[in-house]
Amino acid sequence: MALDIKPTRSELINLKRRIKQTENGYNLLKMKRDGLFHEFRTLLSEMIAAREQLVGTYRDAVQSIGLASAIEGGLAVKSAAIAISRHPEVTVTRRNIMGVVVPSVVGTNLTTTIEERETVLIGGSAYIDEASDAYSTLVEKIVKAAEMEATLKRLLVEIEATKRRVNALEYVVIPQMEEARNFIQLRLEEMEREETFRLKRFKNK
């Protein structure tokens, strides 16, 4: 890199300014990387807990639906499910975490009340209600886990990209610029010595 730079004082001044700006950018990127990594670790811990809860909720839901089918009959369970007119929906928007756009998932109609289910059933069944509640809870946890997993993936991609930029600045860009600065400084000092020597020779003639 040093061979491509003109050894002038103006170039040295510009290069020093660029080094300062690059170092400031490097420090900001390091802060961003560390902040993103902190967010990632926090969310990862929450995600692990959410996954464990999700597995437990799934087991409860399977057990509840199995019990309802055994007592009320599979046809009654299917009829109750088909009769519910409200269907779960999700809306995906965007939110910002330290400059990283991540999804925000909001669910609607994820649960139904006993009254809403009984309006379409003659009588009612506590077992079917329990199964419905269990699966409503399961759907809510699935939606939340999906949002967290997508967010983790986005954060991880940004962390890796930021880490590459930090490493490039630390080990390539800044050292090359400092090498060029040192080259210019040495060359200017050499030119100054040569000029001083030339003037001395001229005076001695």
Domain ranges of the chain: 27-169
pTM, rounded to two decimals = 0.75
3-class secondary structure per residue, 43-100: HHHHHHHHHHHHHHHHHHHHHHHHHHHHHHCHHHHHHHHHHCCCCCEEEEEEEEECCE
Tokens of 133: 């509640």
Domain 27-169 adopts which CATH fold?
Answer: Helix Hairpins (1.10.287)
DSSP class of residue 157? H
DSSP of 192-205 = HHHHHHHHHHHHH-
**How confident is the model over 54-98, as pLDDT tens digits?**
999 999 999 999 998 898 888 888 877 776 667 778 888 899 988
Look up residue 185 and give its amino acid: Q
Query: If you average pLDDT over residues 145-173, what whole number do you get?
Result: 94
Mean pLDDT, range 117-139, rounded to an integer: 73
Q: Looking only at Cα atoms, what is the longest distance across the chain?
A: 122
